[in-house]
Chains A and B, each alone.
Chain A
Amino acid sequence: MRLPRRILAFAGRLLSQPGPLASVLFLVGLALLAAFADRLGIDPLAQDIAASLEGPSAAHWFGTDELGRDIGARVIHGARTSLITAAGAVLIAGAVGVPIGLVAGFFGGWRDAALMRAVDVLMALPGILLAMALIAVIGRSQSAALVAVGITGIPSFARVTRAQVLSLRKRDFVTAVEAFGGTPGYNMFRTVLPNAWSPILVQVVVLSSVAILLEAALAFLGVGIPPPTPSWGEMLRTGKSYLHDAPHYAVLPGLVLTVTILAFDTLGRGMTRLLEDRDSGASGLKLEQASR
């Protein structure tokens, strides 16, 4: 497969813009910090009750929480929680949603009607309610939050994929594969899907930010990942109680959460714009269009 060359070219053009470049640098940095958090010599669980709710100091750059734990360390370990939840949720949503959209769009008819109505039902339920109901059934845990957030992401993957497949289905090169004897399965996965990846990739980025927000919201409501595992939402929830006595508490988790979401959204917007340019042919010179 020579697909990587195309993706590299796309990434190159994406990263030549300042916004997406800064976003990628931030997200990669965050991911690295989260991945090597254990080796940084900071312990998110070490308590020092005597030094609880202290402001920034040389020992604790971002201050301590109500149990005297280092807020900086907890935010870095919280990134791990957020990113793992996001990655797992997107994986689940994509693994279920993309095939649904592919089959619905490719075959149409009763398969389309049945699958998309099921997706509509899922979409009609507010994501946070669905997640809370699910967690009520299977209990609070990292994987529960992950599955819950993943399920709420299925409809958007299914819809984006279906829309893309519908427009590709009518193209001659798909009919051509049918004409020289390709099976529907071959046509779907080898012809249609490789041509539909771009909006799906955008959806991955968009959904990552939604997943992080949702996970934080669940934790904020007290139904996310059980303590003492650090989580941004959980920290915001506790920080809220000490807003008067220790205003520094919620600053770092809130800031990092906001910037992370912003980075994902900037990246998603950059990708969308690039794909729109490509689809409208502006990257190659088309005099007909340029002159109208």
Chain B
Amino acid sequence: MKVDPVLSVRGLQVSFAGAEGPVPAVRGVDLDVWPDEVLGIVGESGSGKSVTALAIAGLLAGNAQVRGSVFVDGQDVVRASPDELRRLRAERIGFIFQDPTTTLNPLMTVGRQVTEGQVAAGRLARGEAGARAAALLREVDIADPVGRAGQYPHQFSGGMRQRAVIAMAMAGRPRLIIADEPTTALDVTVQAQILSVLARRQAETGAAVILITHDLGVVAEVAHRVAVMYGGRVVETGPVRDIFRNPRHPYTAALLNSIPRLDRADSRLDPIPGQPPMPAELPSGCAFEPRCALGRGQLVCRASDPPLEPQGPAQRAACHFAGEAAAPVRAAARAAEPRPEPTAEPLLIVDDLRVHYPIRAGVLRRTVGHVRAVDGVSLSVRPGETVSLVGESGCGKTTTGRAVMGLVKTAGGRILFDGQALGGLGPAGWRKARRHMQYIFQDPYSSLNPVKPVGEVVAEPLRIHGVYEALGGARYVAGLFERVGLSPRVMERYPREFSGGQKQRIGIARALALQPRLLILDEPVAALDVSIQAQIVNLLQDLQQDLGLAYLFIAHDLSVVRHISDRVAVMYLGRIVEEGPKDAIYERPMHPYTQSLLSAVPTPDPDARRHRIVLEGEIPNPASPPTGCTFHPRCFRADERCAREAPAFVPVPGEATRAACHYPGPLAGAPAGEATSLEAAS
């Protein structure tokens, strides 16, 4: 078949004006996308993937210098006049942005917004817009499309908003759709819905799709071909199966090795050393050379940037040693660490914890109800053990962590730390208790005081507790920096001079300063680049082994959780619905929510098309939870008993887990933990 590509990019270069000369963001990118094809662009922050997408749609700001050529459906984008660009975007390109909350205009009904562009371009009569909007919304599976078209964005949930954005992008029947991280802001069960809607609409319309993401699992599930970007260039491209099975570029190989996998239980990750280069300070020669296990220090890699050359029939890679990268470069894995004695007394016991936030309304701000953010959570953490709390946004996992730290008021229940009840403590008692447990925040950019040098940031807890001198002063602080893999020479610098991963290391050093026994880690790697996550996860595991720390690990990323945990508790709407040893939860989940959650996680393996349970609807408002079992409206096993009475949280007979379900049991049809090919057609 000889079909012309919908999109053809040749030698694309984009640079931005910087204080010290132009900063290259994209340095020579060639891409082709054919009709009825999904091209996944994978890369970390600063790789130039988003800038490439914006350049293709002609959406770059005036301070960007674009060279090379971009042809969409035969039309030159780089040299198009503003008028031609507008027409091109109205007729041939659809754009789906990351955050549906900010993509939609809050003052306009969703129906009008979906067709706004087409009406403005004169391709749709105003009178027909209403009917067309409803049809578009129906096509993305929005129930009651006629009624919904008249509503405003705030009346839509996050997943429905992103459906509406997809409908908007599809409104002009574009030949090319650019989706920039379309599911990154969404929960995993909603992500599964959106990806299947996107894949179906793509197949129905035969459009070409560019899917930009950092998530290798999403790419493996949705894309046909992949382009891997690094340092402003495509370093490897090819069919998705070849890229995942037989990567030719060391970066691709290392990236695949560094991510924790839901379908594997390695004890140790192979991180990529260093960090992604900033566009302003690219190394000479190959941009990946300083981090490359193959080329580091090689003269040829330092001297010249390798061109993208064919490797095999369909694959191309930009590497001087492309042939040798095929064998995955594996670092020596540390032996599996000895697990703690299960008989040890728990360090932390949380018993029937409740946190309720009042809902105030009216002029007098009277309390009219309560949001039950945490509604009867019980768990325990033993010394040296990692217990994970997983769940989607709004399930109360972060609130649980903060309540343990005493940062939010509890409405009921007990928290015991080392046998001592924390509930009745006064301010002085809390101060003492907090020496032994510390909190690590999700966002390393916001958790360090920007006006203090990082040495002072780490020393601050010591000074507050008056033990700075007693523990060894500056020498001790320098030791903490070394412990987390940073040179003590950086202690004089300010937080803004560090990258995200380095900042998170500093946050960890600060948490270790008072020699705590329990760390509460709130999504410690969620804000970091893929290749940096592995470094931090490994650091946390080393620290646990060396210092015997207990971790309460709060996360939504089920792959990371499987990798790091001993026991896992799954939360839904303020309650733990299933809890048990890691392997039991992952291999043989009993609760239908756990089962659907696990099935929704994309696996970075294009051949593992598993049986996927796509949950209907989204998490209900915790202010007015459903009656009975709060999960019953979305559950595939629910009957009228579930709507009536709430299930008790009890051990499942004959299994290792405890679950809150009237009908617990392994998933019928799909043998636990094994891949079945039910959705291979997609």
A-side residues, CB < 8 A to B, are: 2-3, 6, 171-173, 175-183, 186, 191, 194-195, 284-285, 287-288, 290-292
State the Cβ distance, B438 to closest chain A Cβ, in Å: 6
**Which chain A residue has the least Cβ–Cβ distance from B447?**
A172
Say how far A272's CB is from chain B's closest CB, in angstroms. Answer: 19
A285 touches B23 (CB 8 A): yes
Given contacts A172-B441, A177-B460, A180-B438, 4 further A-B contacts (CB under 8 A): A172-B442, A175-B447, A181-B435, A285-B23
Which of B57-65, B203-211, B346-354, B590-598 interfaces with chain A? B57-65
Q: List 17 A-B contacts (CB under 8 A).
A: A3-B451, A172-B442, A172-B447, A173-B447, A175-B441, A176-B441, A180-B464, A181-B430, A181-B464, A181-B465, A191-B449, A195-B451, A285-B23, A287-B16, A290-B16, A290-B61, A290-B64
Residue in contact with A176 in the complex, picked from B61, B453, B496, B510, CB distance below 8 Å: B510
**Chain B minimum-CB-distance residue to A193:** B451
- Residues on B close to A: CB < 8 A? 16, 18-19, 23, 25, 46, 50-51, 54, 59-61, 63-64, 279-280, 405, 407, 427, 430-432, 434-435, 438-439, 441-443, 446-453, 460-461, 464-465, 496, 507, 510-511, 513-514
B605–chain A nearest beta-carbon distance, Å: 31
Cα separation A266 to B11 with both chains bound (whole Å) = 47
Nearest CB in chain A: distance from B281 CB, A: 11
Contact A291 B16 (CB under 8 A): yes
A180/B514 contact (C-beta < 8 A), A2-B453, A194-B451, A195-B449 known: yes
- Tally the A-B contacts, defined by beta carbons under 8 Å: 92
A178–B464 Cα gap in the complex (Å)? 10
A179: nearest residue on chain B (CB-CB)?
A: B439
Residues of A within 8 A of B449 (CB): 173, 177, 191, 194-195
Alpha-carbon distance A288/B438, docked complex (angstroms): 33
Q: Which residues of A contact B514 (CB under 8 A)?
A: 180
> Which residues of A have CB within 8 Å of B51?
287, 291
Q: Which residues of B contact A291 (CB under 8 A)?
A: 16, 25, 50-51, 54, 59-61, 64
B46 touches A179 (CB 8 A): no
CB distance from B512 to the nearest CB of A (A): 11
In the docked arrangement, what's the CA distance between A127 and B360, Å? 37
Residue in A171, A175, A191, A287 whose beta carbon sits within 8 Å of that of B407 in the complex: A175
Q: Kindly state the separation between the CA atoms of A292 and B99 in the bound complex, as whole angstroms.
A: 14
- Is the CB–CB distance between B447 and A287 below 8 Å? no
For the complex formed, measure the closest distance between the CB of A194 and the CB atoms of chain B, giving whole angstroms: 5
- For the complex, what is the distance from the CA of A167 to the CA of B641, rounded to whole Å? 47
Q: Which residue of A lies closest to B45 (CB)?
A: A288
* Chain B residues near A172 (CB-CB < 8 A): 441-443, 446-447
Tell me how far the C-beta of B507 lies from the nearest C-beta in chain A, rounded to whole angstroms: 8
The 8 closest A-B pairs by CB, nearest first: A172-B447, A180-B461, A181-B431, A181-B434, A172-B441, A172-B446, A179-B439, A173-B449
Q: Is the beta-carbon distance between B405 and A292 smaller than 8 angstroms? A: no
> Closest A-chain residue to B434, C-beta based?
A181
B46: which A residues are within 8 A, CB to CB?
Answer: 287
Q: B453: which A residues are within 8 A, CB to CB?
A: 2
Q: A290-B16, A290-B64 are in contact. Are A173 and B464 (CB under 8 A)?
A: no
Report yes or no: B25 in contact with A287, Cβ–Cβ below 8 A. Answer: yes
Chain A positions within 8 Å of B59 at CB level: 291
Q: Are A179 and B23 in contact (CB under 8 A)?
A: no
CB distance from B401 to the nearest CB of A (A): 10
Residues of B close to A2: CB separation below 8 A: 453
Instruction: Give every chain B residue within 8 A of A3 (Cβ-Cβ).
Output: 451
Question: Closest CB-CB distance, A243 to chain B, in whole Å?
Answer: 53
Contacts of B280 in A (CB 8 A): 285
Give complex CA distance A182, B441 in Å: 17
How far is A288 from B60 in the complex, measured between Cα atoms in Å?
10
Q: CB-nearest residue of chain B relative to A194?
A: B451
B427 smallest CB distance to A (angstroms): 7
Q: Please name all residues of chain B whose beta carbon is closer than 8 Å to the beta carbon of A194 when the two chains form the complex.
A: 449, 451-452
Residues of A within 8 A of B513 (CB): 180
Contacts of A284 in B (CB 8 A): 496
Within the assembled complex, what's the spacing in Å between the Cα atoms of A180 and B449? 14
The answer to whether A6 and B461 touch across the interface, beta carbons within 8 angstroms, is: no
| Cα separation A182 to B63 with both chains bound (whole Å) | 45
